[in-house]
Structure 1
Amino acid sequence: MRYFFALLLASGLLPAVVAAQSGPDLRHNTQRKAGAGTITGRVILADGRPADQVSVRVKGTGLGTTPAADGSFRLSAPVGWQVLLVSSLGYAPQEITVEVKNAETTELAALTLARGEQKLQEVTVTGGKSLNQRPTSVGKLPIAPLDNPQSTLTIERAVLEQQQALRLSDVLANVSGVYVMGTTGGAQEEIASRGFAYTSANTFKNGVRFNNGIMPEVSSLERMEVLKGSAAILYGNVAAGGVLNLVTKKPRFERGGSVGLRVGSYGFVKPQFDVYGAVGQSDKVAYRLNGTYERGDSYRDGVQGRRTYLNPSVLLRLTPRTELLVEGDYLRDNRTPDYGIGAIDYQIQESRSRFLNVPDARNATSQTSATATLTSHLNEAWQVRAIGAFQRYDNELRSAARPTGIISTPGSTYGNWSRGLQRTETAENYYLAQLDLTGTFRTGSLGHTLLVGADADQYNSTVVAYTNPRSATRPTTAVSTYDVINILDPRKEITQPVERLTGFNSLVRNSLTKGNTRRAGFYAQDLLSLSERVKVLAGLRWSYQETPSDVFNYNTVANVNNKIADTYVETRRYDNAFSPRLGLVYRPIKTTSLFASYANSFTPNAGIDLQGNTLPPSLIDQYEAGIKNELFNGALSANVTAYRIVNSNQAQAVLPTDPRFSTAATTSPQELAGQVTSKGVEVDVQSRPVDGFSLIAGYSYNYTAYTRSNIYEDGSRLRYNPAHTANASLFYNFNTRFASNVLLRGLNAGVTAYYVGDRLGGRNNRILNPATGRPWVDANGNPTTDAFKLIAVPNYFLFDASLGYAYERLSLRVKVANLLNELSYNLHDDNSVNPIAPRTFSATLGYKL
């Protein structure tokens, strides 16, 4: 860790922060102290739309800003008569002449922009919004982050372009406490936060859940939003820890776009395009279409990937106050499944390139979605929004089984693995309907920002699983081996079984599972303004969920001809839960807020209790407190959050030694008697561009452990969660200081550092044998220990460097990732040990249309 922070110091972090103390523009520091003033004002759009997309800039300079949602703005400018240019898409721009006096604030009268035909040309705005001025759309309620008693974070498109982000993990490297916990099979990045996994219920695109079994495409993103902590009041059944929302690029009325080509190490090629504009000369219909194709090999022997992506969208202005946004999304991803390098007796067998799958393995996934969002501003205070969405997800997996059962006995067979095969086919249809009403009003001295809403969604899923066929020589057994290899030397010659699997088509149908999960919820949330300094956020949601499942099982040993099912198992679950939320915000000064909050979430359980009834959901309590700061006149945002999350009624098995076990109505009873606790602290720092510099930094500490269990030791850490993470990105744009230099003004450079601390893989060892409820003994009755073991995963430090240059419409960016060539792993149990990427190079050539 000391090397990490020393490197940040050496790379310019401290000078950037010191520079920030003098304000948002320090190009001529000495001169500004003697000759600068402030302009404040408010911009109103004639049709009542929010003004947060307006550009306010000082003509002839690089100084500018964007107003807050209510139209208010604050801008530093040189002393003397200045011309402000105020403009926005689809509105007639205006110029205002104003005299700026030294060290004084000049307040302008409210300015109204009327609808107009003139389109906004491209401008450079060095101001922009700070971290605590960007409300997240995933939060639904239109409140400023400083008034939200919850940690939120937004990563904008400019950062993604500066860092040349390729995967979602590249974007997450800017967010404290949200991390990749595994890359099982190499086809997805499994995300977690605060000790809890982000399932498909926790991942959203444009406010709609999406199946995260596929790596999402980053090139289409306008921004990424993170809402940490509980989001159950807004979305119902979401795991604790937070939610992630990917916001794609939106239609624009001015015409433009870009084309680009990215190339990189290991044969990587990625052409991409983005076009947008009004349909014809219309000021009521606009479109956008972006897409990409990607192909490349890998640092992993035998691994390759191909993907095609399209993201079309259309915006219709139905009335001056009503818009309909229709968005589509298509992704086809075909890659080699990769379960890593293998482990022997819970020991990682170090390698970066060793590949253990069969040559014809593949993981083919397609995902298609359509979303329609209707937004109507009823008046200046009230808005209604309706969303309808559909998503189709298909996956076909043909792969070797995960590497388990590897021989660990020293000798000639050490490292041998009898390799099996797996095959599944998954299809899923997802439907969503959502309606939200938001508004602001007062009752006496109380101010209200109210959200009332309802949602309903449905998953229809079908999963076909295949298994091993009947042996031709032993009718009561199955053939389970494709071949035998040595994981340390896959080319080693080994005597093969006489009878073995011939390929994926030799597998037979094992089961057909049909699911039809249905959910509905009603929620209300109100931000009560008790005074200018004190605010309370209170809300409640009621959620209902049905989880029917129909499983058709087959007699696999005799099922040679894929005949109809032999058995049928039907299960029905009905769950409901209340999710409250209560938060308090105190703002001692305008730029600082202190907050504390409580919320809970719920997790449905699949088990059966002692009486034979389905287990109720587990309720998870979440406590959060922190401070949010806008420092140096908004040039730097610095937030600190502490949290504690407790699942005090976690489902666990009733052990056979329990007196109640003998009278249980089921052979595998469970009860809500376990407990898992997660606690930690997070720091997030972001700056506006200051004298050409921009900074993002963060740190997180987390400890997630069993704090009550009948088989796990109290205090034992849960797997996959790093105790520490730290991140810092520092970028410099030469245009700010060298605007008059033709050669330097298009140059920018940056460094990104990311640290992941110690983690655990493998499997948590158990102090009691779950099958007997007693301490472990061997076959002779002698005391022994659990076969499960934990794996200590090496911490690692990633350091990326990038350089970009733009001249008129052309741009070139180059990047070196993992400059220090660090080696570590992402683990799932002990059977998907995937090394992180080595040092790689990439370059992107772009052209603006």
Structure 2
Amino acid sequence: MNHSQPVRRTERSLARPLQIAVWLAFAAAAQCAFAQTDSTDSGAASASASTSTATSRNGTEQSLPAVKVSASSADDSPLHLTTPVSNGALGTRSQLDTPFSTTVVTGEDLANRQANKLGDVFAGDASVTDNSNAYSAWATYITIRGLPIDWQNGFKIDGNPFISYGITMPYENLERVELLKGAGGFMYGFAQPGGVVNYVTKKPGKDPVTSIDIGYRMDGVISEHADLSRRFGPDGMFGARINYTHEAGKTYNAGDINRNSVALALDGQLTRDLDVYFNAIYQTSRSSGQTPAIYISPSYAGTSLPATISGGSNLLNSAGQHLNTSLQLYTAGVKYQIAPDWTFNTSASYSKSARDRNESTLTLANQAGNYSDSRWNGDEGHQDIYWQGSFEGKVKTGPFTHQLVFGASVQRQTNDYNNAQTTAGGVLGSGNLYVQNPYVFYSGSGLEKYRASEINQKALFLSDTMQLTSRWSLLAGLRYTNYDQDTFAESGATTASYGKNGVITPTFALMYKLDALTTIYASYLESLEAGQIVSSSYANGGSVLNPLRSRQYEVGIKTERARWSANAALFRIERGASYANSQNVLMQDGNSIYEGVEAGGSVRLGRSWQVGGDIMLLDTWYAKGQSYNGKRVAGAPQFTAAARVSYDVPFVPGLQLGADAKYTGNTSVRPAGDLETGGYMLVNLGANYMTRIGGHDVTLRAAIDNLTNRRYWMFQYDSYIAPGDPRTVSLNAKIDF
């Protein structure tokens, strides 16, 4: 690519946001006009007891009704924009009042979808690209707006950090999954700017719960799940909820899985103002036969990828490959209502995760599918200790009301590694994608680990959402962080260190309420991500790169009515670029730029039909570097679209049929921009039937994923690809006692 191309790309990048901004302004104006005539929406929404005030032309205050969507309208508003979401240092606020793009997937959504990996959870979100493989170390790999999510800092459970690598969550045990798209540096501290996933576990409610469900997934995985919740003591002072999940059997690619998971939630309403809680998760998983990682080396000979294969094939599997993981998380906290408008929250958590894996990496040599098989065997462990305390409340200064959140947090993360390879370089031999892998390598577990790295963060944070008028509000936030990162050799000697005090990550946002159910916002964020420890697959393996700073600009609109909901956002993210050069050295060089628009909505048509859709248009390029200037950023599709439709069958009460589809455009596999995965569309079908048997509520669910059994290459990570999952059938039966 010649040097004039980055200039042409910059000109195009300036034109596109202007066009999109005009489109957003038009959409906002149309929404405002439509909202004035949308009086029928009040049928499924109830007015809140509280009201906000607006200033009339004569200077007097008049009431604007604040609308609260009732539980009965939840099915009519599948975007769940009024659902409270955790925003770290911003406190808890609804999606509608969060000036960033967010997604919420409820527990019911997860059950209907019969999610098996993180990519399934966000199948309806066009901004999220699935890079995950179930039953493997890649189970939580997704990209958001073309950016990878940080497996060390981008995942939370009830707002508490844990190391997600190789951990498939027990989705049956979750109340919902929250996704904050983009840079989360102010809200959560150091993290890559792809986004933050927060798993919210089920808690004791006011109503008792007793349910059991049994599931089946091709080719022979059987699962059992039990959910039990009770309140007890004077006036239901104490609550307890326990969820247990077990699954075992033969997976779709002839592997095996055996997983046990238990989640416990306890709470106590000790006084009218004082609540305490304790949560725990314990999970173990043993699997074998997972699909190897497929690496495109700099020496790959060819202008396109090899012909696709099915992810259900066991041709790439070979004896000895396995992944065994464990996860423990314990959280304790206190919530105290200091005054009617002020609360104090403090919590501490400890998480521990471990991986024992024997994994092949197939390094592709050419388009014919020839590869060399390198086997890696190792034990890895992680610990995360976290504390946060915060005050949240309101104050008034003259005519302005301030919603304040301020507090502090301390986090200590340790990583322990050890590895053993088969021979020098770990190469077992050569093979071909279309011929059974013949190599066998059995390995033991319990290798002696050493402390490989330590990361410490201490932070102070403050945010102020100032209500300027009944419609206008201004958000300003600041996080001050002291950060230290050290890496060690197996001997214990320090090999690299990075430390910096006073790291500032700010956020600003301006919000405007068209009405009680519609928010327009413009926001700015900065984020800093931890320095990457270079893996052994690169020529400079073992070294540590400096932290990277990111900046995010976003303009958006969100609205949720009784029978329809919609959101749209225009964004630009500037991130420091890191990639392997032609000498296979992982380096930092210039920036990677992400510009795009995302829009989605859902509407109920009549009494039986629900139709929704979501799109993302994305333009990415490398800039200001010595290499790859103007070329597309690896892992970022230019266009994605998702659509879904559901039908409540009127002559069979309780039966709902559904279909969804998602198209993912071609994706650059590596920064050189010379290889692409090609675009692909996946179609899924599902059915849910609710009835009563023997006086008990019974729910029967069925799902078919990848209905057409489409074969495709999926981008997995920079220079890594994977075959997409094959057609699978899932069944589930649940009974409530």
- Normalising by structure 2, we get a TM-score of 0.81
Aligned with residue 453 of structure 2, among 515, 533, 541: 515
CA distance in 2, matches of 1:650, 1:831: 15
Q: Judge conservation of contact 2:268–2:276 (CA < 8 Å) in 1.
A: yes
Q: Judge conservation of contact 2:91–2:405 (CA < 8 Å) in 1.
A: yes
CA distance in 2, matches of 1:382, 1:331: 37
Indicate the residue corresponding to 1:594 in structure 2.
520
Indicate the residue corresponding to 1:728 in structure 2.
643
Question: In the TM superposition, what are the counterparts of 1:542-561 in structure 2 within 5 Å?
Answer: 542-552=480-490
Question: In the TM superposition, what are the counterparts of 1:296-695 in structure 2 within 5 Å?
Answer: 296-300=249-253, 302-336=254-288, 337-339=290-292, 345=301, 347-352=305-310, 353-400=313-360, 402-404=361-363, 406=365, 417-468=371-422, 478=424, 480-490=426-436, 503-504=442-443, 512-552=450-490, 565=491, 568-576=493-501, 577-605=503-531, 617-631=547-561, 634-647=562-575, 650=577, 674-687=590-603, 691-695=607-611
Asked whether 1:208 is paired with 2:208, we answer: no
Question: In the TM superposition, what are the counterparts of 1:227-306 in structure 2 within 5 Å?
Answer: 227-279=180-232, 283-300=236-253, 302-306=254-258
Q: CA deviation at 1:285?
A: 0.9
Q: Judge conservation of contact 1:330–1:369 (CA < 8 Å) in 2.
A: yes
CA distance in 1, matches of 2:484, 2:135: 30
AA aligned to 1:199 is: D
Q: Judge conservation of contact 2:688–2:699 (CA < 8 Å) in 1.
A: no
The 10-residue stretch of structure 1 (833-842 or 268-277) with the greater mean CA deviation from structure 2: 833-842
Indicate the residue corresponding to 2:54 in structure 1.
none
Q: Secondary structure at the match of 2:110?
A: helix
AA aligned to 2:570 is: A
Q: CA deviation at 1:406?
A: 4.2
Q: CA deviation at 1:819?
A: 1.8
Q: CA deviation at 1:304?
A: 2.5
Q: CA deviation at 1:693?
A: 4.3
Q: CA deviation at 1:194?
A: 1.9
Q: Judge conservation of contact 1:163–1:802 (CA < 8 Å) in 2.
A: no
Indicate the residue corresponding to 1:791 in structure 2.
676
CA distance in 2, matches of 1:128, 1:669: 45
Change beyond 3 A, Cα 1:727–1:22: farther
Q: CA deviation at 1:642?
A: 0.3
Q: Secondary structure at the match of 2:120?
A: helix
CA distance in 2, matches of 1:694, 1:221: 25
Q: Secondary structure at the match of 2:81?
A: helix
Change beyond 3 A, Cα 1:711–1:258: same
Q: Secondary structure at the match of 1:797?
A: strand
Question: In the TM superposition, what are the counterparts of 1:714-725 in structure 2 within 5 Å?
Answer: 714-725=629-640
Q: Secondary structure at the match of 1:158?
A: helix
Q: Judge conservation of contact 1:702–1:722 (CA < 8 Å) in 2.
A: yes
Change beyond 3 A, Cα 1:503–1:126: closer
Q: Secondary structure at the match of 1:136?
A: strand
Q: Judge conservation of contact 2:125–2:614 (CA < 8 Å) in 1.
A: yes
Q: CA deviation at 1:525?
A: 0.5
Indicate the residue corresponding to 1:812 in structure 2.
700
CA distance in 2, matches of 1:359, 1:791: 31
Q: CA deviation at 1:620?
A: 1.4
Aligned with residue 106 of structure 2, among 139, 156, 177: 156
Deviations 1:728-769 (A, max 9, x none): 3333445xxx6xxxx7322222222222222122x3329xxx
Q: Which structure has the greater CA radius of gyration?
A: 1
Q: Which has the higher strand share?
A: 2
Change beyond 3 A, Cα 1:835–1:320: same
Question: In the TM superposition, what are the counterparts of 1:116-195 in structure 2 within 5 Å?
Answer: 131-139=80-88, 140-183=90-133, 186-187=136-137, 188-195=139-146
Q: Judge conservation of contact 1:597–1:624 (CA < 8 Å) in 2.
A: yes
- Normalising by structure 1, we get a TM-score of 0.71
Deviations 1:707-734 (A, max 9, x none): 222122x221122222222223333445
Q: CA deviation at 1:551?
A: 0.6
CA distance in 2, matches of 1:434, 1:314: 19
AA aligned to 1:765 is: A
Q: Judge conservation of contact 2:309–2:712 (CA < 8 Å) in 1.
A: no
AA aligned to 2:409 is: D
Q: Secondary structure at the match of 1:204?
A: strand
Indicate the residue corresponding to 1:102 in structure 2.
none
Q: Secondary structure at the match of 2:363?
A: coil
CA distance in 2, matches of 1:525, 1:805: 45
Q: CA deviation at 1:345?
A: 3.7
CA distance in 1, matches of 2:279, 2:633: 39
Deviations 1:260-311 (A, max 9, x none): 11113211211111111124676111111111111232332x4222211111
Indicate the residue corresponding to 1:750 in structure 2.
658
Change beyond 3 A, Cα 1:607–1:311: closer
Q: Judge conservation of contact 1:130–1:687 (CA < 8 Å) in 2.
A: no
Q: CA deviation at 1:489?
A: 1.9
CA distance in 1, matches of 2:445, 2:509: 58
Question: In the TM superposition, what are the counterparts of 1:827-838 in structure 2 within 5 Å?
Answer: 827-828=715-716, 833-838=721-726
CA distance in 2, matches of 1:655, 1:378: 60
Change beyond 3 A, Cα 1:416–1:704: closer
Q: Secondary structure at the match of 1:504?
A: coil
Change beyond 3 A, Cα 1:383–1:706: same
Q: Judge conservation of contact 1:447–1:528 (CA < 8 Å) in 2.
A: yes
AA aligned to 2:671 is: N
Q: Secondary structure at the match of 1:376?
A: strand
Q: Judge conservation of contact 2:308–2:713 (CA < 8 Å) in 1.
A: no
Deviations 1:310-356 (A, max 9, x none): 11111111211221121111121222232167877452242211432
Q: Judge conservation of contact 1:185–1:340 (CA < 8 Å) in 2.
A: no
Q: CA deviation at 1:615?
A: 7.3
Unmatched segments (≥5 aa) in structure 2: 1-33, 52-63, 535-542
Q: Judge conservation of contact 2:315–2:437 (CA < 8 Å) in 1.
A: no
Change beyond 3 A, Cα 1:795–1:801: same
CA distance in 2, matches of 1:621, 1:574: 21
Q: CA deviation at 1:488?
A: 2.6
Q: Secondary structure at the match of 1:219?
A: helix
Deviations 1:567-596 (A, max 9, x none): 944322103420111111123444433211
Higher relative contact order (CA 8 A, sep 6+): 2
Unmatched segments (≥5 aa) in structure 1: 1-16, 26-35, 45-69, 77-87, 89-122, 409-413, 470-477, 553-564, 657-667, 767-788
CA RMSD of aligned residues (A): 3.7
Change beyond 3 A, Cα 1:587–1:695: same
Q: Secondary structure at the match of 1:548?
A: strand
Q: Judge conservation of contact 1:220–1:311 (CA < 8 Å) in 2.
A: yes
AA aligned to 1:312 is: L
